[in-house]
Structure 1
């Protein structure tokens, strides 16, 4: 099904694969040797990146994007940050969509206040505003903004439009701020991995099945982490554009940086249907292209898959799960209990085995992954004439845009769904992050959505709530519904694939979308609701820092959902201080209290530096006396320590930052006085970038800890400011704890000059406003 080639490979004329088993492997074409350096430049990724690079150095990229996109839990913070940094107008098309907090279900008026702010920002700065329920962010960008050879940046991790010839990147908000201020996205040239597709999927196998097979093969081993995936091979032609889109959007879960696909007549037809024929160009690698590795997938051998709690990489075939339900679910159950780590929570999956069959309580097809036209057409064909029933099983379908919904109404598919008992809802991302269709406590939900992280479905373990989500392709979701809620593979049922002819009607957008790009109205006023708050003042990095360990997370991977929960907390993302109250609330409920206690000491220290004659409190004295335990500080004067040593907090996690692009996973720590993270490694580039952009130090360890850190410990990092100025990458520190002092060697690898300056200034806002 999936094979990894970890050596470099040459792809000859898009078809023949030559594995470079050693560095001296030569590739010949028409009797001439092709140099590896030249062949590297024949990938689609190289060409597009080079066209958008402003540095003049192909190894150190400074990218300017063609367009950007944000949704309603990110665009307020981005606009506020850019405004504080001198924003005058949006220099490139910036689409503000409203697909996350569209229900206005939490916090009174505050969600709709954000929407009003978004429209006022689009008017003032010249943006594009897509009202609630019109389209999920990525569907609108596919339909209206993608283009072959373009690059798009989005403040959502699933910003992926590679199937449409567009290299797209999901990042935290500060990276979008940089683009709004005419700055660049700075990265080293990434490795490029070919995904070589061959064969044709069997009937009943959908894009989510292919995506999950890919994720299973590459996530745990980090094979494609922070790399670009380039989809090539004869199998591409056997996939419709919607099918390609469904695979492509899930590449985020592989932890790759971006993606790009070869384009063909089917893509040309897609743009023509959407009234944008000029957006098409044929993309393909050159005659000989060199890749840093390859994933070979035989589409004909892919079978229906299921990602069990609590990660998209926890993948099994549906067949093996049905054949051995107890052993597999018991294993997942035990792993889940360790991850939840709450003895008061009853997490049970095996109780969903009834008479040897796995029964589900909820079925959903939604969002940027599930809500595409062809997915829903297949779902309608499978459930036509069937009944959802009047028991506990529920079934909801969310078309990804109003134009899709309109076409489903016109061709009768919506009527077939409604007649079966399915609920058809408007374009909304809520089921993907716990703000819509939250299951009841203990229920098991199967979904064609993007993620199944713990509590992302909306449960609250701290209040005794837990439910579970498994990711399944829309076709097997529908097959399960048609089989009365017993988990069923779509290849096990007989159905006729419907005709997928699609007619796009853009009148919906014409009548509702505000397009002000190129026509800013600076005289317009931004409209603020009471929950929309400015960022608090953040100071520059002190000479030395004393960090109290505020949380220790030893899980193999920590998601951004665990760092700052999604769901109803998203309603507070326009208010930095209020949102910060939820930091780590579902992983380490004591974190906020610990962080606040330390932050109060730092605020007192800063206040004392501005006044004369005031004496530090006993608590501040006690904290700063920790420094005196370090030999190098024995001769230091207490006043000198107070003047030059900032007090903050640090989180230790093995591998933090998997999942969402949300900047708040970092900014909430900073708002509460965080100065750093310490990790073995960072799960994604975007989380590390978020830390840096909020002035936090992304420390890694030079070697595994011999003695674990605890929340009783301080970490003292002397001379950190000067070491960053000097460009040092190895940073000596000391751990000060109940058992004395021990040395700790930290690393700050590969910081660019801009990143160093941002950290020194204290955050991105300070960097641009000073």
Structure 2
């Protein structure tokens, strides 16, 4: 795999000309950029008239049951009357209905009644995971889809899809736009053909390993082109595409051909197919060459999809790599628990406790059929090792039953379950303490598999392709590359039965029924009132995180905590609970001062003596500041966290909203891992501050004073004078902020997106 930072031209889809080697008569880079597939789709969805500053209107929206309640509640509070475009509500995350009594099913009924009232589509639990339903029923050539799940990626089908936090969907529901600068486009030029035993997860992990740490595709669009594309089946392309999220790219798109046309035809939607290819001379801002024949079965070791090795490399350097993983875990868990992977080595081989093939990445038809071929006639054994398989949709499950694949798997001792995303985010198949799981799913972040450090638990996940998971299962849990297996893949044809959805999925066909009463469960709560940004701001640092990357799962844990997603204050109790258990209490203490200010009590008279002393120090330096009388709009008190690079992973807005409802006013970071997390902060009225790398001018529990912050935001400032309050001294330093759009300024000034739409 070769990365070219300076970009390249692609002529007629086959000839690569690198920057600096242009032929005479070739168009300029700016002109040739317009010939990428991505440019054409973005141009057709842009409403601004300016391709440098995009204002995108999407064709369709999709959400699952961790996010749709909050999205609809926010939209309702902002004046929603009808879903203006198709909006699909799936129920594939909190499907077990086992945690918190009735609250999961209450949310499902909320979704069904909202689909009826506002004119949407409702997919009941266990019918399909969100992205498989979108592939089968929503995707279309040249279309754009926005989803409130980070793995919203349908580029292999010719659909540019973006995963964002819920507030961005709220904007679309209120007929507003998705505003971004024109992203750069990275060309991924595929040649060759995967060798036998290599699957889509192997290709995806190889790409992630090459581009994540260096940010090569961060916030850019990945465009897959080249002669190697035609050597991949539709399912294979889909399996690579969904994992592009883990590169931190903005979106993805692929050239399409007769295999994608066949996919649409199989699903009864042939009219949605479009042949998409770059123009005769297309320019890509960056370029990657990938020879598919060189890729070997991969494994992403704990605790990130980019921590990749070939399986052969791992087996050859087993103890060294396991030791490195243990050291990383000790840093990530601050020494609170001990991960022991080396004990998994038996007679020189790595023994695995659990295998999972599931979700939007692993649950595809071809993955499961190939896994069954490898396992045919084998036994997974009667020891610790278990194998669970989750088809991504009921239509896939039905075809697997009809062609005998389910029987083949079950005969080995594997369990075949319904469509469910639970294993991917810690709501199902949580391993035993210190167990090691291999999974064809999307992520392997710390504790994402469901273990709880605060309870002394630790488990770990490695990501692998379904084929190598099956090979490992055939060897009763001993790690094995699929390339080591002698197997003939049968590749049974897929037949899609649309009657399953026709008989069970509620589809309003865009017709709203205002007479329908929304069904609210007792756990569904409105958002608490949030005040506007004050003139000046005092921030107390209540958590300081120096991990290289902080995931949204660490900011607000997934798993059973997500059952409380419809109760903003209830869910906030879990914020940073697995990373910094003291965060919630500290944030609440600061919030008490803000609530006193809002009730008319001067901060100089606050119950918090430390806060009162901070205000006294500020007054000494700024004697003209009047904090004695009504200071509701002049001074705010709130919390902030520092993290080196927060926001990798899930698009869940709760990573920001939980901080906000606990009184958070800002984040401070060296950089933000994803555009979507920064957008979530802004949409919840939180300031996305930046600070230069190096020794911090403050530490945990310090107070920071930012005078004139409201005026600075309104003026579009990118630098903010700040002070560390040290006794009676104010020690200056500088905070920065990337440029905000006019709407983003207004959202922050008004305190949050809900206030912005209320006017």
Q: What is the TM-score with the length of structure 1 in the denominator?
A: 0.97
Counterpart of 1:187 in structure 2 is: 180
Task: Give SS of 1:34's match.
Answer: coil
Match of 1:478 among 466, 470, 473: 470
Q: Tell me whether 1:540 sits opposite 2:532 in the alignment.
A: yes
Give, in angstroms, the shift of residue 705 of structure 1: 4.5
Please name the residue that 2:636 is paired with: 646
- Residue 748 of structure 1 corresponds to 737
How much does 1:277 deviate? 0.5
**Whole-Å separation in 2 of the counterparts to 1:548 and 1:273:** 57
**Equivalences for residues 182-261 of structure 1 within 5 A:** 182-261=175-254
Mapped partners of 1:587, 1:495: distance in 2 = 44
Point out the more displaced range, 385-394 or 565-574.
Answer: 385-394
CA contact (8 A) 1:713 1:735 kept: yes
- Aligned partners of 2:456 and 2:683: how far apart in 1? 36
Q: Is the 8 A contact 1:653 1:680 kept in 2?
A: yes
Matches within 5 A, 1:69-80: 69-80=62-73
Of the three residues 655, 659, 664, the one matched with 1:669 is 659
Cα separation, 1, equivalents of 2:503 and 2:404: 24
Of 410, 419, 435 in structure 2, the residue corresponding to residue 418 of structure 1 is 410
* 1:512 corresponds to: 504
Cα distance change on mapping 1:552 and 1:738 into 2, 3 Å: farther
By how many angstroms is 1:739 displaced? Answer: 8.9
After TM superposition, list the pairs within 5 Å mapping 1:399-414 onto structure 2: 399-414=391-406
- SS of residue in 1 equivalent to 2:141: coil
Cross-structure match for 1:365: 357
Provide the rounded CA distance (Å) in 2 between the counterparts of 1:72 and 1:394. Answer: 28
**Which residue of structure 2 aligns with residue 144 of structure 1?**
137
Check the 8 A contact 2:697/2:724 in 1, yes or no: no
Alignment of 1:6 onto 2:5: yes
Which range moved further: 183-192 or 635-644? Answer: 635-644
Partner Cα distance (1:708, 1:353) in 2: 45
Contact 2:603 2:612 in 1 (8 A): no
2:22 paired residue among 26, 31, 47: 26
Give the SS at the match of 1:379. helix
Q: How far, CA to CA, are the matches of 1:203 and 1:716 in structure 2? A: 61
Give the structure 1 partner of residue 678 of structure 2: 688
Q: Could you tell me which of 275, 286, 310 is aligned with 1:293?
A: 286
The 5 Å alignment of 1:602-617 reads 602-608=594-600, 617=605
Q: How does 1:447-486 map to 2 (within 5 A)?
A: 447-486=439-478
**2:385 paired residue number:** 393
Structure 1 CA distance for aligned equivalents of residues 367 and 548 of structure 2 = 34
Query: For residues 143 and 528 of structure 2, what CA distance do their matches in structure 1 show?
Result: 36
Give the C-alpha shift of residue 38 in structure 1: 1.2
What is the CA-CA distance between 1:604 and the residue it aligns to? 1.1
2:710 and 2:185 map into 1 onto residues whose CA distance is: 35
Deviates more, 1:58-67 or 1:639-648: 639-648
What CA distance in whole angstroms lies between the structure 1 residues aligned with 2:694 and 2:486? Answer: 56
Q: Does 2:104 align with 1:116?
A: no
Q: TM-score normalized by structure 2?
A: 0.98
Q: In structure 1, what is the Cα distance between the partners aligned to 2:145 and 2:162?
A: 6
Deviations 1:108-155 (A, max 9, x none): 000000000000000000000000000000000000000000000000
**What is the Cα deviation at residue 347 of structure 1?**
1.0
Rate the CA distance shift 1:615–1:398 in 2: closer, same or farther, 3 A: closer
Q: CA deviation at 1:37?
A: 1.6
Instruction: Find 2:722's aligned residue among 709, 733, 739.
Output: 733
Structure 2: runs of 5+ lacking an equivalent:
none
- Secondary structure of the residue aligned to 1:432 is helix
SS of residue matched to 1:639: coil
- Shift, 1:627, TM fit: 3.5
Give per-residue Cα distances to partners, 1:77-125, cap 9 Å, x unaligned: 0000000000000000000000000011210000000000000000000
Q: Give the equivalent residue in structure 1 for 2:645.
A: 655
Q: Distance in 2 between matches of 1:660 and 1:687?
A: 9
Question: What is the CA-CA distance between 1:27 and the residue it aligns to?
Answer: 3.8
Q: Deviations over 1:212-261 (max 9, x none)?
A: 00000000000000000000000000000000000000000000000000
What secondary structure is seen at the aligned counterpart in 2 of 1:670? helix
Q: For residue 391 of structure 1, report the CA deviation from its aligned partner.
A: 1.4
Give secondary structure in 2 for the equivalent of 1:14: coil
CA distance in structure 1 between the aligned counterparts of 2:49 and 2:224, rounded to whole angstroms: 27
Indicate whether 1:492 and 2:484 are aligned.
Answer: yes
> For the structure 1 residues 442 and 531, does the alpha-carbon distance in structure 2 shift closer, same or farther, using more than 3 Å as the test?
same
Query: How big is each residue's C-alpha offset from its partner over 1:165-214, in whole Å with a ceiling of 9 and x where there is no partner?
Result: 00000000000000000000000000000011000000000000000000
User: Which shows bigger deviation, 196-205 or 638-647?
Assistant: 638-647
Aligned 8 A contact 1:712 1:738 in 2: no
Instruction: Give the conservation status (yes or no) of the 8 Å contact 1:26–1:34.
Output: no
Look up the SS of the partner of 2:356 in the other structure.
strand
Provide the rounded CA distance (Å) in 1 between the counterparts of 2:259 and 2:340. Answer: 45
Cα deviation for residue 321 of structure 1 reads 0.6
Q: How does 1:577-616 map to 2 (within 5 A)?
A: 577-608=569-600
Aligned counterparts of 1:615 and 1:241: Cα–Cα separation in 2: 62
Number of equivalenced pairs: 757
Contact 2:128 2:420 in 1 (8 A): yes
Work out the CA distance in 2 between the residues paired with 1:371 and 1:637: 61
**Could you say if the C-alpha distance between residues 536 and 618 of structure 1 is closer, same or farther in structure 2, counting changes exceeding 3 Å?**
closer
Q: 1:640 Cα deviation (Å)? A: 5.5
- 1:484-522 per-position Cα deviation (integer Å, ceiling 9, x unaligned): 110000000100011231110111100000001321001
Q: Counterparts of 2:726 and 2:329 in 1: how far apart (Å)?
A: 32
Two-structure CA RMSD over aligned residues (Å): 1.3
Indicate how the Cα distance of structure 1 residues 686 and 12 shifts in structure 2: closer, same or farther if over 3 A, else same: same
Q: Is the 8 A contact 2:724 2:731 kept in 1?
A: yes
Per the TM alignment, residue 388 of structure 1 is displaced from its structure 2 partner at its CA by 1.3
Pairwise CA distance, 1:578 = 0.2
Unaligned runs of 5+ in 1: none
1:699 equivalent in structure 2: 689
TM-superposition CA deviations, 1:669-718 (whole Å, max 9, x none): 000000000000000000000000000000011x3353453223111110
What is the distance in 1 between the residues matched to 2:417 and 2:645? Answer: 37
Q: What is the distance in 2 between the residues matched to 1:327 and 1:706?
A: 32
- Greater CA drift, 159-168 or 6-15: 6-15
Does the C-alpha gap of structure 1 residues 431 and 708 become closer, same or farther in structure 2, counting only changes over 3 Å?
Answer: farther
Deviations 1:619-653 (A, max 9, x none): 35641431443464144344169441100001111
SS at match of 1:306: strand
- Aligned pair 1:375/2:367, yes or no? yes
Answering whether residue 431 of structure 2 is matched by residue 439 of structure 1, we say: yes
Paired residue for 1:721, among 702, 710, 714? Answer: 710
Q: Tell me, yes or no, if the aligned pair for 2:600 and 2:630 is still in contact at 8 Å.
A: no
For the residues of structure 2 that align with 1:707 and 1:651, how far apart are their CA atoms? 13
Distance, in Å, in 1 between the alignment partners of 2:110 and 2:163 is: 23
User: 3-state SS of the aligned residue for 2:26?
Assistant: strand
Q: 1:50 aligns with which of 29, 43, 46?
A: 43
Is the CA contact (8 Å cut-off) linking 1:628 and 1:636 kept in structure 2? no
Q: Which residue of 2 aligns with 1:311?
A: 304
Specify the alignment match of 2:755 in structure 1.
766
Matched residue SS, 1:418? helix
8 Å Cα contact 1:713/1:738 also seen in 2: no
